[in-house]
Structure 1
Amino acid sequence: MRTECARLADEDDAEFGVRLLAGTPTHEGRDPALLRRWATAATEFGAGLTVRARLPQPRVVERTGGIERLLLARYVSRPAPAVELFTDTLALGEELVDLLGWRGWYPAGALRAAAMAHEDAHRLLHDDAALKRALRERLGHTALRLGRFRIAAHVAGADELAAHGYAAARRGLGRSPLLLTAALASAVRALAQD
């Protein structure tokens, strides 16, 4: 697992975004250069939200069961807006950061704070149609063009990358949360084999 995580740490953060998009239905056959452009644009868009966002704190529900689904947190809008924090996955993530010597990238307590910031970004995008439209425009993917009129298309997975960019910028992380997610997936696979 350490070898796998060291290999992951050698990759640039944009590559994790490309992988996320490539694994999303509708993107399987797309050009990796296009996916990289979208991943970079979405991440930068999310990072740029840090100065705009001042949200009231949502109701937070702590629970276990995140490891099986590889979830740190999840925003739910119904029946009432809330953020579910998966304490088992957060604890495993903190242990993994210590084990791998990644505290310079992910300071103590940063995982919980980044998970909350990530879900804040989802709330922003969920509640603000103009913001969702701005993300689509930034990506530059066209759904329909009639003469000089253009309708920007939705890019599946872009909101997730924007949320990761927002969390990394808002919490001052040294690396993308996607690196930690990939390392957690490796750790969970290793634990399942034992």
Structure 2
Amino acid sequence: MSTLTEAAESAADLAAVDDLAYGARFLASLPLHAHRDPAVLRRWAEAADRFGADLARTPAPAPAHVVESTGGLERGLLARYTSRPQAVELYTDAIAAAERLVARLGWRAWFPAGSVRAAALAHEAVHERLHHGPERAALKQALGHTALRLGRLRVPAHVAGAEELAAHAYARTVCGLGRSPLLLSAALAASYTAEVPAPAASAREK
């Protein structure tokens, strides 16, 4: 799912953080990781990023069924993959807003014109690939998190958020972007939140 994170930072603040550090912060923002060691989160972010970039050596086919709709800004999404029915839904309002934001912030060197849509499709293609192929197990192995160990037997554990970071790294690599799309998603979320006016006070509140 190509998310618009709930970060309340300015775009400049976000841009000052490198992609791996921001990936670790993204993991830390998830409730399941609230009390994790930051060093562990950084290691997982690095592993997920490396895994996603390596996936780009064998690019996934473009999603066969793409549906365009609006409402992405309200949902906090650029796109999403659904397995039933198997499709990718692109939110054209969020993608258009992201393109305008890139132009306004002077980030075209990182995100060329038209790259937001391409990156969203690439991102969701990885979610589809991880859902149906053997790469999900490979990602768990790459992360090195253990759910159970019995003697020499080790059962790798799921790391919440890792697939999202891998998908962002894949999209960044296969689309030739200068920064992770996660940065743009966060900047768009911060921008959209700032532009939404506070609700008018009711007569009782006045």
- TM-score range, shorter-chain basis? over 0.9
Q: Greater share of helix residues, 1 or 2?
A: 1
Asked if residue 92 in structure 1 is aligned to residue 97 in structure 2, the reply is yes
Q: In the alignment, residue 178 of structure 1 is paired with which amino acid?
A: L
CA–CA distance in 1 between the matches of 2:12 and 2:31?
Answer: 29
Aligned to 1:134: 138
Question: Is 1:183 aligned to 2:191, yes or no?
Answer: no
Question: Of 15, 24, 43, which residue of structure 2 is paired with 1:18?
Answer: 24
| Percent identity for Structure 1 against Structure 2 | 57
Q: Is the 8 A contact 1:70 1:184 kept in 2?
A: no
Give, in whole Å, the separation in 1 of the partners of 2:141 and 2:169: 17
Q: Distance in 1 between matches of 2:50 and 2:28?
A: 18
CA–CA distance in structure 1, aligned partners of residues 14 and 25 of structure 2: 12
Corresponding residue for residue 164 of structure 1: 168
Cα distance in structure 2, aligned partners of 1:155 and 1:124? 17
* Gapped regions of structure 2 (runs ≥ 5): 1-8, 199-206
Q: Is the 8 A contact 2:65 2:87 kept in 1?
A: yes
TM normalised by structure 2 equals 0.89
Alpha-carbon distance in structure 1 between the residues aligned to 2:14 and 2:195: 18
Work out whether 1:81 is the aligned partner of 2:86. Answer: yes
CA displacement at 1:57 relative to structure 2: 3.4
Query: 1:174 aligns to what?
Result: 178
> Secondary structure of 2:33's match?
coil
Q: Deviations over 1:37-70 (max 9, x none)?
A: 1011001101110122342532111000000122
RMSD: 1.3
Q: CA deviation at 1:4?
A: 1.7
The size of the alignment, in residue pairs, is: 190
Structure 2 matches for 1:96-135, cutoff 5 A?
96-128=101-133, 130-135=134-139
Separation (CA, whole Å) in 2 of partners of 1:174 and 1:150: 37
Q: Which runs of 5+ in 1 are unaligned?
A: none
Distance 1:56 1:9, change over 3 A: closer
CA displacement 1:62-81 (0-9 Å, x = unmatched): 00000012211001111x21
Is this contact kept in 1: 2:27–2:160, CA < 8 A? Answer: yes
